[in-house]
Amino acid sequence: MPGKRIFIYDTTLRDGEQSPGAGMMPDEKLRLARQLEILGVDIIEAGFPVSSAGEFTAVRQIARKIRGCQIAAIARARTTDIDRTWEAIREAAVPRIHIILPASDILLKYQLRKSRQEIMEITKMSVAYARTYTDNIEFSPMDATRTDKDFLCRLLEVAIDAGAKIVNVADTVGYAIPSEFGELISYIFERTGNIGDHILSIHCHDDLGLAVANTLAAVEQGVSQVKCTINGIGERAGNAALEEVVMALKTRNDHFDVQTRIKMEQIYKTSQLLTEITGISVQPNKAIVGANAFAHEAGIHQDGLLKNTQTYEIMTPQSVGIPESRFVLGKHSGRHAIRSYIEKIGYVVNEKQLDDIMTQFKEVAVHCKNISAAYLDAIVKKNEEQI
């Protein structure tokens, strides 16, 4: 029996685009949306149509051209936003209106200057209004992890009663920690009377480096939609990285027992395309898609990998679309890796010759952070007469 299905809601084109410096032109957004469709995300959040005329056009273009995913866009809880958002997405194969509304006391007091009672009424009104356009409505109380738990559950009940099909718990400021977030999700399932078969979703930020951990904790408690972005881009420290969430669910399926429809071998290509479009590259040690994610320098690891890749790789690079593991030759490299490299470039050496080459190579490597394989080539060639 395949495990429960988890819906992957990608918000690279909305929250991701809110990363400083990640603004995209309408055609760039469409190009990325096409790749997200190939990657197999279930829902693409295309943008915030009310924010500008260009954004409206970009969202509408995606809604018209991408047919393999649901297309969502966000609206604040007001009729003018909902009208404009619907106008942008209505031609999508499956359009979704995503209504956001501040919910925590901090936001109500300082940003909105409204009471909890008023928020309940605005929720009811805005969801009911959006319902006149479509039944595919998602409602997100913002800053849910700093919101009174019982008020949060009442708010979700009101939204569901008014017609929301999906309700989303947003850790807008990245405040949650995994055990507590898991408990919150389980509390919501217990205390939201009408949750029934409605989809419970989560949206996590990485301010404490916990976005992916919180997302996985929520999956353990039974949410069926997770929001993420490619390379983890997004406001401030970013969102949960799609590639990390998906590969954790896949690699540790023994633990999570859930399925997504993501085509894993498209992950690297999608990551690269986003970097190309935004000019923002990922750090080398970034999980799954960083330049070093499948690079090995330590001699013990290189030796193990040459014998069997499962020794030091829990996933293959090919499974995420990276052609091969990379051996970094440096001061930590061992005999097995260096011999293997020498044979790859066409030489056969005996033990004594390998000793000489290794001594010469390491004399230099110890002083160099990034020694190139070309240097090893040169040493091998210098020793060629003996070889």
Q: Report the interface residues with Mn ion, using CB under 5 A.
A: 15
8 Å CB contact between 218 and 230: no
Choose between 61 and 239: whose C-beta lies nearer to Mn ion.
Answer: 239
Choose between 17 and 303: whose C-beta lies nearer to Mn ion.
Answer: 17
Choose between 140 and 260: whose C-beta lies nearer to Mn ion.
Answer: 140
Instruction: Supply the minimum distance, in Å, between the C-beta of residue 369 and Mn ion.
Output: 37
Choose between 173 and 338: whose C-beta lies nearer to Mn ion.
Answer: 173
Instruction: Supply the minimum distance, in Å, between the C-beta of residue 90 and Mn ion.
Output: 24
Question: Cα separations (Å) of 43 from 24, 57, 185, 329?
Answer: 19, 19, 21, 42
Instruction: Supply the minimum distance, in Å, between the C-beta of residue 173 and Mn ion.
Output: 9
Choose between 6 and 204: whose C-beta lies nearer to Mn ion.
Answer: 204
Instruction: Supply the minimum distance, in Å, between the C-beta of residue 14 and Mn ion.
Output: 8
Choose between 15 and 42: whose C-beta lies nearer to Mn ion.
Answer: 15
Choose between 145 and 224: whose C-beta lies nearer to Mn ion.
Answer: 145
Instruction: Supply the minimum distance, in Å, between the C-beta of residue 242 and Mn ion.
Output: 14
Residue 196 burial (C-beta neighbours within 10 Å; 0-12, 13-18, 19+): exposed
Choose between 237 and 354: whose C-beta lies nearer to Mn ion.
Answer: 237
Instruction: Supply the minimum distance, in Å, between the C-beta of residue 203 and Mn ion.
Output: 6
Side chain identity at 127, as an amino acid letter?
Answer: V
Choose between 67 and 236: whose C-beta lies nearer to Mn ion.
Answer: 236
Instruction: Supply the minimum distance, in Å, between the C-beta of residue 239 and Mn ion.
Output: 6
Instruction: Supply the minimum distance, in Å, between the C-beta of residue 9 and Mn ion.
Output: 12
Residue facing Mn ion at closest CB distance? 15
